[in-house]
Amino acid sequence: MSKITRLFGGLTVALALGLSAGAQAQDKVLKIGVLGVMSGPAASWGLVNKYCAEARAQQINEQGGWDIGGDKYQIEIVSVDDRNDPKVSVSGAERLIYQEGIKYIIGPNVDTTAAAIKPVAEKGGAMYIPYAFSKELYTPPASNAILGMIASYQAGPVIYKYLMENNGVKSISFIARNESDPLNQRAEGLAAAEALGLQVLSSEDTYEAGTTDFFPVMSRIVQQNPDLIVLSGVAPSDAPLLIRTARELGYAGLISTETAQDAKILDEVAGEAANGFISVGGASTPAIRSETMEVFIEKYKEVAGEWNDEAGTKVYALEMILNTLSKAGPAALDDVEAFKAQLADFSMPNPFLQGDKQISYVGSGFFGQRRQIGVPMVVNEFRDGEFHTMFVGQVDP
């Protein structure tokens, strides 16, 4: 679900402490592992996490490293593609935790892979920051996972209500890929729509992974002519095909998703047909981003070749890990309980937003504990090859 983008959804960044052979004290290294989906239809979700980690690590290293307890640490990135496969994700987590000695992990990107590594992380005493929305990952007795983005069940009601009030939306239909993560997001969206009083015209239509001809499934939905079609948990490579199909079938209503999307793919595959498409964007719309974010964007472009809107959300994971470690002190490098002890009260100036804004861990209202990074909720509309901000919100503590 790097999903709402989906902020909020499979990539894992892992953090380990190590010393280079023959290195002096000032040359200590924090090894950052990246585990997530970097191939296939959802590759964009994982690659953005990888590029964010690499770009931010380069910035930190160029500035002399990261200070924890008076010692400077260089950041080293280790990447593993889990191919969106739970078994591969488990083996990747085991490698990062047991072979690399990693204690802090960002990812994975979807519910199935995040759930698969949960026992590995808990047994190995590691924290992880998934981009997956299953509440069981973040609700007691679970305590080792921190949601890295806005969840679909947080963004969905906000988007639906906005469209009801501003666009007169009264009816809604859902379509989802036949996998647990999109189906879970559909169920959450359906519940939110019903709670808001929307007329649900259909909620059972699905398609299989690898589908390229969406005319059969989309025809049924378009015939019902809902005011809004929701593409639940849609992968970046599937979204433009679904959108283009709906438009070619004559649908003129609104289309939205709570997962993060790729403007380049939308433009190349759907073109003008994607105009008006609504999605959860990266937490760094031009109207709110700071000079620090502008500098990061240039570094990200050096690493990835081009900017991806979702990176505005995923840059926060490493930043929050490192700042929380600095507050917790060196003990947290080996003992995640020292890290957890900081979560309830942790707050710091948000380096990526304009003005005197703070960022903290949130999510108590959803999970019963603060197990979510409080990134801004940015909702975008795609138009003429670019994302344009519709509105900015946030999750309550």
Per-residue HEC secondary structure of 299-346 comes to: HHHHHHCCCCCCHHHHHHHHHHHHHHHHHHCHHHHCCHHHHHCCCCCC
Report helix angle 239-248 to 215-224, nearest 10.
Answer: 60
21 within domain boundaries: yes
Report helix angle 86-94 to 111-123, nearest 10.
Answer: 30
Question: Are 290 and 266 within one domain?
Answer: no
Q: What is the pLDDT of residue 14?
A: 53
Question: Are 233 and 302 within one domain?
Answer: no
Q: What is the pLDDT of residue 170?
A: 98
**pLDDT tens digit at each of 397 positions of the chain:** 443 333 334 444 555 554 444 444 457 999 888 899 999 989 999 999 999 999 999 999 999 999 999 999 999 988 889 999 999 999 999 999 999 999 998 889 999 999 999 999 999 999 999 999 999 999 999 999 999 999 988 999 999 999 999 999 999 999 999 998 899 999 999 999 999 999 999 999 999 989 999 999 999 999 999 999 999 999 999 999 999 999 999 999 999 999 889 999 999 999 999 999 999 988 888 889 999 999 999 999 999 999 999 999 999 999 999 999 999 999 999 999 999 999 999 999 999 999 999 999 999 999 999 999 999 999 999 999 999 999 988 887 7
2 within domain boundaries: no
The CA distances from residue 248 to 169, 292, 381, in Å, are: 22, 42, 20
69 within domain boundaries: yes
Q: What is the pLDDT of residue 41?
A: 87
Measure the CA–CA gap between 233 and 302, rounded to whole angstroms.
29
Question: Are 261 and 157 within one domain?
Answer: yes
| CATH of residue 15 | 3.40.50.2300
Q: Are strands 71-81 and 386-393 parallel, antiparallel or unpaired?
A: unpaired
Question: Are 362 and 220 within one domain?
Answer: no
162 within domain boundaries: yes
190 within domain boundaries: yes
Question: Are 77 and 180 within one domain?
Answer: no
6 within domain boundaries: no
Q: What is the pLDDT of residue 6?
A: 37
Question: Are 224 and 134 within one domain?
Answer: no
Cα-Cα-Cα-Cα dihedral of 69, 73, 75, 80, to 10°? -70
Question: Are 27 and 163 within one domain?
Answer: no
Measure the CA–CA gap between 142 and 135, rounded to whole angstroms.
10
Q: What is the pLDDT of residue 250?
A: 98
Question: Are 216 and 347 within one domain?
Answer: no
Beta strands in 125-239 (DSSP E): 127-129, 171-177, 199-207, 228-232
Measure the CA–CA gap between 104 and 17, rounded to whole angstroms.
10
3 within domain boundaries: no
Question: Are 305 and 347 within one domain?
Answer: yes
3-state secondary structure of 145: strand
Question: Are 187 and 304 within one domain?
Answer: no
Measure the CA–CA gap between 381 and 340, rounded to whole angstroms.
37
Range of the domain at 242: 152-282+381-393
Q: What is the pLDDT of residue 152?
A: 87
219's tokens: 């025809």
Q: What is the pLDDT of residue 17?
A: 54
Measured at the alpha carbon of residue 326, what is the angle toward residues 325 and 327, in degrees to the nearest 5? Answer: 90
221 within domain boundaries: yes
Q: What is the pLDDT of residue 3?
A: 39
Cα-Cα-Cα-Cα dihedral of 29, 35, 40, 43, to 10°? -60
Question: Are 171 and 222 within one domain?
Answer: yes
Question: Are 243 and 388 within one domain?
Answer: yes
Cα-Cα-Cα-Cα dihedral of 91, 95, 101, 104, to 10°? -50
Number of domains in the chain: 2
